[in-house]
Structures are given as structure tokens and as C-alpha cells.
A and B are shown apart, each in its own frame.
Chain A
């Protein structure tokens, strides 16, 4: 998340809103943001019904790891018309490559 924050101006330059999503609570998100020194993009709470959004995106139940209660890690780019433009599912511990995401965004403009 800190890596995304560091490049946030580049994402904004590609007319992109960034949002993080997992099943933790909003209270957890606030504390997590504090621990990172604050983020200026939202972290959303897919808490109840549990992981419903991750399920809609095919990331829950997980297929990439053995933690049954944790959604798979992935990045989706939704274009300005609300269509899926790009997606990639990652191994759990793998940090997405910002350059790759920004490259995909540039192709949309």
C-alpha cells in the first residue's frame, strides 16, 4: 500500500481512482493507515456479507493460497465506462508492479 501511495500522483495523472479492498473492518483500515503514516486513497471493507465483492470478482473462495478466510490478491482496472479493462491475480505475498498497472492505464487514455 505504501508503494501505491508513493506513486499516487502518477495514478491520478492517468485519471485513475485507486481503492484497496479486503475483508478487514473500517476500524482496522483506519489503524492500518495510521501505521503507514496515512494514505490518501480509500481502503474499503468487504466485511459483510463476508467477501461478497471478492466473490463477485472471482477471488473468493481463494484458489492461490490455503487461508480459507482470505481473498486472493489481485488488481483490476475498471475503465471509465465501468468495464473490466485489465486484471491480474498475484501470489499472496507478491507486491503488484506499479509500472505494469500504470502502463495498462496509459493504454486506456
Chain B
């Protein structure tokens, strides 16, 4: 079932990198902020 506007966003907690720093990104830990999630295809592609 596709997600609709107003639906609870599925939570996720993933290993991440910011610059050369490793960390973890946890969606539900961002409450109080808007979050822009960019799903992209592959690293080292131009877009």
C-alpha cells in the first residue's frame, strides 16, 4: 500500500556517514524537525 500524505512515516535507523564521520541516522529521533529524505539510486552517479 503506497504511503499517503498524513500517514505516519515508517521509522528507520540506519548506519550513516557525514563527511568521513560514521554515525547512525534514526528518523524518530528527529522529532521537532522536518526531515527531507532523499532516496537516490547509487553513489558515484551524477544525480
Report which A residues bind B (CB closer than 8 A): 1, 4, 11, 14-22, 24, 26, 28-35, 38-47, 52-54, 56-59, 67, 70-87, 92-96, 101, 105, 108
Contacts and interface: CB of A to CB of B under 8 A. Distances in A.
15 contacts: A16-B33, A19-B25, A26-B22, A30-B20, A33-B17, A47-B14, A73-B40, A75-B36, A78-B27, A82-B11, A82-B28, A84-B3, A92-B41, A101-B36, A108-B34
Contact of B39 (A73, A78, A84): A73
Contacts, number: 172
Contacts of A14: 34
Instruction: Tell me whether chain B's interface is mostly helix, strand or loop, or mixed.
Output: loop
